Amino acid sequence: MQVTAAQLGQILKGEIIGNPEAMIQRPGKIEEAGPGEITFLANPKYEPFAYTTNASVILVSRDFTPKQPIKATMIRVDDVYASITLLLNEFGGKVERMEGVSTNASIHQSASIGGGVSMGHFAVLEENVEVGQNTTIYPQVFIGKNARVGKNCILYPGVKILHDCVIGDNCIIHPNAIIGSDGFGFAPQDDGSYEKINQTGNVILEDNVEIGANTTIDRATMGSTIIRKGAKLDNLIMIAHNVEIGMNTVVAAQAGFAGSSKIGKQCMIGGQSGFVGHIKIADGSKIQAQSGINKTIKEENSAWYGSPALPYNDYLKSYAAFRKMPKLLKRIHDLEKRLKDLEK
């Protein structure tokens, strides 16, 4: 795809600063982009690259004031991230949709498939599975007995949806994610062994949910593990039995949620965060990366950091003091030595 800065400015409703005829062929990272590429500046940490980039065009916010000359044509926009999202969609990168159903797919005679469904080699649909119209099922996907998948979904290679689970409309599940594996439930016995507790529930993904590669979502012991409408989960996330992830909540990679934790709507959860079981997290909570949440958070729209987590500003103050500990200890030792000398 080729467009001029002027054409893209019209699409983004932006203001052109520089050459409106600058030609754009593809997007690029600000620190690596070259001629014919468009990049963007949204994070102030990357501002130095704006003055050295070889990109032909750069997207900036309307309130950006350069401290040095910028040789690239600038397009000033209201929301850089929203504009770059639209830009990436315009420049493609979408996987070409499969067509038809492979003769190597295994489909039980009781399964129900809507119109426009496509299915790759060695996909398996077991008894009483329902698949909605226009859903794409890539090779080696497994869908267990009585599971339901909505319309317009994409199940990438290796996805496993086990028995009785329910997937809503417009969901995307990336390779090797597992939906509905057994929850981690074992009862200790008198002899020190453990007896497995049967996990009788299921997993429900509501509409417009996206699940990253190799993420695992355990079925409930009883009832349902639920990922609410619009939630987005990154790769390598662990969701235990009876967890509930709220509407439009986003979770970065390697986070883990212990059983029966309830996460509110529109939360933002950083990578490698951990949550103990049976707690509730208020709507709008912001959890920084690698934080450990060991208690219920009641205050909405609050930010937390650390392990065990503290309110964000309290953590920063505590960390500032912690960094000074070696110097403080040296001062204490020096004072103790001087005190002993005085006593002598």
Residues 6 or more apart whose Cβ sits within 8 Å of residue 252: 234, 269, 270, 271, 273, 289
Q: DSSP string of 309-335?
A: TEEHHHHHHHHHHHHTHHHHHHHHHHH
Residue 308: asked if its preceding bond is cis (omega within 30°), the reply is yes
CA distance 125 to 116: 16
Q: Which active-site residues does the annotation give? A: 241
Burial class (CB in 10 A: 0-12, 13-18, 19+), 339: exposed
pLDDT by residue for the chain (344 residues), tens only, comes to 689 999 999 989 999 999 999 999 888 999 999 999 999 999 999 999 999 999 999 999 999 999 999 999 999 999 999 998 888 777 665 566 788 999 999 999 999 999 999 999 999 999 999 999 999 999 999 999 999 999 999 999 999 999 999 999 999 999 999 999 999 999 999 999 999 999 999 999 999 999 999 999 999 999 999 999 999 999 999 999 999 999 999 999 999 999 999 999 999 999 999 999 999 999 999 999 999 999 999 999 999 999 988 888 888 888 888 788 888 888 889 898 888 888 87
Enumerate domains of the chain plus CATH numbers. 3-90 (3.40.1390.10), 106-315 (2.160.10.10)
How high is the pLDDT of residue 1? 64
Q: What is the DSSP letter of 64?
A: -
In the block, tokens 């469904």 appear at 117
Cβ 149 vs Cβ 131: under 8 Å: yes
How high is the pLDDT of residue 2? 84
If you count them, how many residues does the chain have? Answer: 344
In the block, tokens 């060991």 appear at 294
CA distance 304 to 298: 12
Task: Report which of 297, 213, 201 is spatially closest to residue 241, judged by C-alpha positions.
Answer: 201
